[in-house]
Structure 1
């Protein structure tokens, strides 16, 4: 799971053009939105599209579990893992 988390951190950096942030700067348990990394709803849309493109992950923006999945890199890794092992 750690390798997938590293891969997702790099995907976040590349997708959102986070120039001043490295993979090491992102804590897997840290919040991605508002506090923590400070992402916003536009970032969430871009990230959702990137996940769909790369991993085939489909997310429902209005679903309550989507907020949980997008709350941290660790939770995103669990979501992606459930798609790639299914």
Structure 2
């Protein structure tokens, strides 16, 4: 599955990178100066709101379970959605999520894992 995820993310990166200047600016929804090792419930909900807003999902962010899968089953995001989330996370939190990162499958496995990764690595 990791190879399939990476392959789809690589092809999506090529498609999106040519049009990156059209990625919208999304507001940071909390104080970005705190840098914690794991996310709290409020930060996890912030990330859920960011995902819903970035992808224009018709989902109430508060209904997204922190432990449900983001990719495939669960929230049902595809590789293009994951790439757009990665771009928005990069823009809002200063984290560079690369398509060839060996931990992508783990990072994007759930809302909680993505939130924890952002909380531990954000620079903004």
Match of 1:61 among 99, 110, 113: 99
Show the counterpart of 1:44.
82
More helix by share: 1
The one of the two structures with greater contact order (alpha-carbon pairs below 8 A, sep at least 6) is: 2
Tell me which structure has the larger Cα radius of gyration: 2
Structure 2: any 5+ residue segments left out of the alignment? 1-39
When normalised by structure 2's length, the TM-score is 0.64
Alignment RMSD: 1.2
1:9 counterpart = 2:45: no
Please give the alpha-carbon distance, in whole angstroms, between the structure 1 residues aligned to 2:91 and 2:101. Answer: 20
Q: How many residues align?
A: 84
Structure 1: any 5+ residue segments left out of the alignment? none
When normalised by structure 1's length, the TM-score is 0.91
Structure 1 segments (4+ residues) deviating >3 Å? none
CA offsets, 1:31-60, max 9 Å, x none? 001110100000011000000000011112
* 1:75 CA displacement: 0.4
